[in-house]
Amino acid sequence: MALLPNTAQAAGTYPDPRPLTGQQIIHDPTVIRLKSGRYVAYSTGGVIGARLSRDGKQWDDAGNAFAEPPSWWYEYNDTGDPWAPDISYRAGRYWLYYAVSSWGTNHSAIGVATSRTGLPGTWTDHGKVFASETTDHWNAIDPALIKADGKLWMSFGSYWTGIRMVELDPGTGKAVPGTTVHHLATRPDLPYAVEGPYIVRHGRHYYLFASYDACCAGVNSTYRIKVGRSTDIRGPYVDSTGKPLLEGGGDLLLEGHGRYIGTGGQSVFQDKGKDWLAYHYYDAEDNGTPKLGLNRLTWKPNGWPTVR
């Protein structure tokens, strides 16, 4: 009972997202500032839906990453529907990772495409990066990339015992053959409702952000963002009390408040030396429509992140 006042106080301090205009509808956003100076956001929906902005505030619909789904996607769902992309820049190219699956199964795959400009309509698909089957204890969706210790890593995972990570070949961008599947976070109870990992480095720590509880239910969504950290990219990740994320730990970073329901599907991007948290929320004042949330991500003296 002693925790309740602190919890209520924390909830009261959650900032609203940055005011945006234009096309704000989005789900599972990944955002980057392109070399051209424009911003692009890719997302679940369409054939990887795209939004473009010149200032990070006014967003315009920019179609889709692909004109048509690559044929191999249909192995994982009947509609060729991609989920939860991740964009990054490396070796002179933009890399777009994404997942294809069906609701409620871990017969899933992560794929990758590259582009010289990062703009919609310019992507070349390179096929599967990593896959999971119903016999696995993980689910190959929600990819996110990070370079660490001279290696390239991809975190991923949704339910099915939580968050995992594998090493990628920097040349192909695909999983190293026989790579170890590292376990980073889970919950002690079924259905292990944690997904959408994103890892960033700050100072001497790696910070693992993940979405907990239920998405995709409009105003009934309970998505919220938690975080833990480790000095080793492979873990163990712990929260500020020292509780491992493999034992259900995690500091609450952002949850629903006011009209902004079910905050999650997050990613982090840098712009002009500042860190930003991108996520979706369900707008309680617009029939639960999923929209883009952007907040500055800052760091406390003790190293832990906070949003403002």
Spatial separation of the C-alpha atoms in residues 124 and 139, rounded to whole Å: 25
Split at pLDDT 50, 70, 90, the class of 12 is low
Q: At 245, is the secondary structure helix, strand, or coil?
A: helix
- Compute the average pLDDT of residues 278-298: 98
167-221 pLDDT, tens digit each: 999 999 999 999 999 999 999 999 999 999 999 999 999 999 999 999 999 999 9
- Compute the average pLDDT of residues 121-143: 98
- Compute the average pLDDT of residues 36-44: 98
Spatial separation of the C-alpha atoms in residues 152 and 154, rounded to whole Å: 7
Mean pLDDT taken over the chain? 95
* Model confidence at 281: pLDDT above 80: yes
Split at pLDDT 50, 70, 90, the class of 100 is very high
- Compute the average pLDDT of residues 34-51: 97
Active site residue 75: no
Q: At 13, is the secondary structure helix, strand, or coil?
A: coil
* Model confidence at 113: pLDDT above 70: yes
Q: Are 160 and 106 in contact (CB under 8 A)?
A: yes
Residue of 141 and 9 predicted with greater confidence:
141
Residues 86, 167, 195, 251: which is the catalytic one? 195
Q: Are 197 and 207 in contact (CB under 8 A)?
A: no
Spatial separation of the C-alpha atoms in residues 95 and 68, rounded to whole Å: 18
Q: Are 12 and 34 in contact (CB under 8 A)?
A: no
Active site residue 247: no
Model's pTM, two decimal places?
0.95
Domains of the chain, first to last: 3-307 (2.115.10.20)
Residues 6+ apart with CB under 8 A from 71: none
- Compute the average pLDDT of residues 10-22: 85
* Model confidence at 259: pLDDT above 90: yes
Residues 28, 81, 86, 283: which is the catalytic one? 28
Indicate the helix (H) or strand (E) that contains 63.
strand 58-64
* Model confidence at 9: pLDDT above 80: no
Split at pLDDT 50, 70, 90, the class of 13 is confident
